[in-house]
Structure 1
Amino acid sequence: METVKLIQNNKVIKNAIIVFLGTILLTISAKVKIPFYPVPMTMQTFVVIFLGMCFGYKLGLATVVLYLIEGIVGIPVFSNSPEKGVGMIYFTGPTMGYLLGFIIAVYVAGKFNFNKNYLLNFIKIFFSVLPIYVLGLIWLGILIGWDKPIFDLGAKPFLLAELFKIFLLVIISTKIDFFKKFT
């Protein structure tokens, strides 16, 4: 009982627990693949935006940065790790731009105020997701060459799933106050 009171009264401990649990949620979202067309879908971008919406930009950033550090030091938190490598080898591969885009995406989502307006929330979420794909495509172009069909390889197969996740986030965004009370 005394431990529960200590955690409730100590904001640093509470925030550390929230950030740690957020990294676990991100890891799970990266590992679970949902059958979808034309490629299987993970819920990673959904969770990144959700964390920003719920935690705000400070705790959201702390969560995503800790998650990236976990992956960089070799903990197999990323999608397709350890199968396709761990640590810096995996991080500097084709997905590095997308992973770095998580930092900007969670920040942007954390700065927006969400309300009951579905259209405005859709626009805010769309602009929160955008840095993930922009940085992802830029890094992919640098890595494999701009003469390749970068958009067709790095964005097009994921757009339908991304739109689905954005619509889910829009529905949740009108109830975001419920989730914020835990932070």
Structure 2
Amino acid sequence: MSMTITKTLTHTLLPQSIHSLPVQVGLAIAGSLLLTLSAKLSIPFIPVPFTMQTFAVLVIGMAFGWRLGASTVLFYLAQGALGLPVFATGAGIPYMVGPTGGYLIGFVFAAALCGLLAEKGWDRTVKHTAFAMTLGTAVIYLFGGAWLSLLIGVEKALAAGIIPFIPGEIVKIVLACAVMPLVWKWVSKSRAANSANN
């Protein structure tokens, strides 16, 4: 696939205003609210329940692009650092340097990576969305697992912080593969219809 820079969803839907600071701030606020909601939503699953937060992080990255996507996640983390109840449990700096700290840092890099891939058009087909989401998920667990390993050891980190969550992450990757190309298909049809009417 060509690696020329293309437009993300937000650039396509808001072509005239996406570079406006108020619009970018509004998108960052909306994204941080989505991240908060996704952290609070626990879905029963086997072997462990999961939240939709990693899904939200990666989709925000793909929809916003790497700069705004990473900035949105940083804004979300800043809220948590200030003590706002934006995480699944806990808040503040002590919480952020605890067992989940590596995953939180991984969110920033994963959003940036998925945003960069989306800017190359890697969110428009099932195959490329799956690849981008898998890479983004791997980045989150790489950071999360590395930090957790420092705290409790590699074997315990794998057993408690990575392996049980893999089935849930697969479900979220499949969901993204359905959602992102479908949204792009709808956008393309809408733009084609508008062009025909004009």
Using structure 1 for the length normalisation, give the TM-score. 0.85
**C-alpha displacement of 1:145:** 2.8
Alignment-derived partner of residue 137 in structure 1: 145
**C-alpha displacement of 1:119:** 2.2
The 2-side partners of 1:136 and 1:103 are apart by: 12
User: Aligned pair count?
Assistant: 168
Change (3 A) 1:10 1:29: same
Question: 2:182 pairs with 172, 175, 182, which one?
Answer: 175
Matched, 1:13 2:28: no
Matched, 1:127 2:115: no
Matched, 1:150 2:157: yes
Correspondences of 1:37-56 after superposition (within 5 Å):
37-56=46-65
Question: 1:59 pairs with 35, 57, 68, which one?
Answer: 68
Structure 1: runs of 5+ lacking an equivalent: 1-7
The one-letter code matched in structure 1 to 2:134 is: F
Structure 1's consecutive aligned runs of 4 or more residues displaced over 4 angstroms after TM superposition are none
Using structure 2 for the length normalisation, give the TM-score. 0.79
Percent identity between the aligned chains? 36
Alignment-derived partner of residue 172 in structure 2: 165
The one-letter code matched in structure 2 to 1:38 is: P
The one-letter code matched in structure 2 to 1:78 is: F
- Contact residue 62 and residue 123 of structure 2 kept, 8 A: no
Structure 2: runs of 5+ lacking an equivalent: 1-16, 191-198
What CA RMSD, in Å, does the superposition of the two structures yield over aligned residues? 1.9
SS across alignment from 1:143:
helix
The 2-side partners of 1:100 and 1:16 are apart by: 21
